[in-house]
């Protein structure tokens, strides 16, 4: 299990106290594009067209972490 997989496993168990830098690291590992046109939100977009916009305040609300994990799962990053 590499660092990204460990971080995803931790997100699944505890969706509290994560930040945008953590989501960016995981997005890089799964080839998910992201952009932050302003300072308040980051938009993650996968190759299959799925999109998630996350407010960039700290910490990120747990619902956005859960949605991000679902986005990763749809790309095949699901823990078995």
β-strand partners of 16: none
Q: What is the CATH number of the domain that holds 14?
A: 3.30.920
**Domain count along the chain:** 1
8 part of a folded domain: yes
pLDDT tens per residue, range 16-54:
999 999 999 999 999 999 999 888 999 999 988 899 999
Average pLDDT, the chain: 90
Domain that holds residue 10: 3-74
Rounded to whole angstroms, the Cα distance separating 2 from 62 reads 23
For the sheet containing 33-35, what is the strand order? 33-35, 41-45, 51-55
């Amino acid at each position: 299990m590499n660092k990204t997989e460990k971080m995803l496993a931790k997100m699944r168990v505890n969706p509290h106290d994560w930040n945008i830098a953590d989501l960016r690291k995981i997005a890089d590992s799964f080839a998910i594009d992201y952009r932050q046109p302003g300072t308040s939100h980051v938009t993650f977009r996968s190759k299959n067209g799925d999109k998630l916009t996350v407010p960039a305040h700290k910490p990120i609300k747990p619902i956005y972490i859960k949605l991000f994990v679902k986005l990763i799962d749809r790309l095949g990053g699901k823990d078995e």
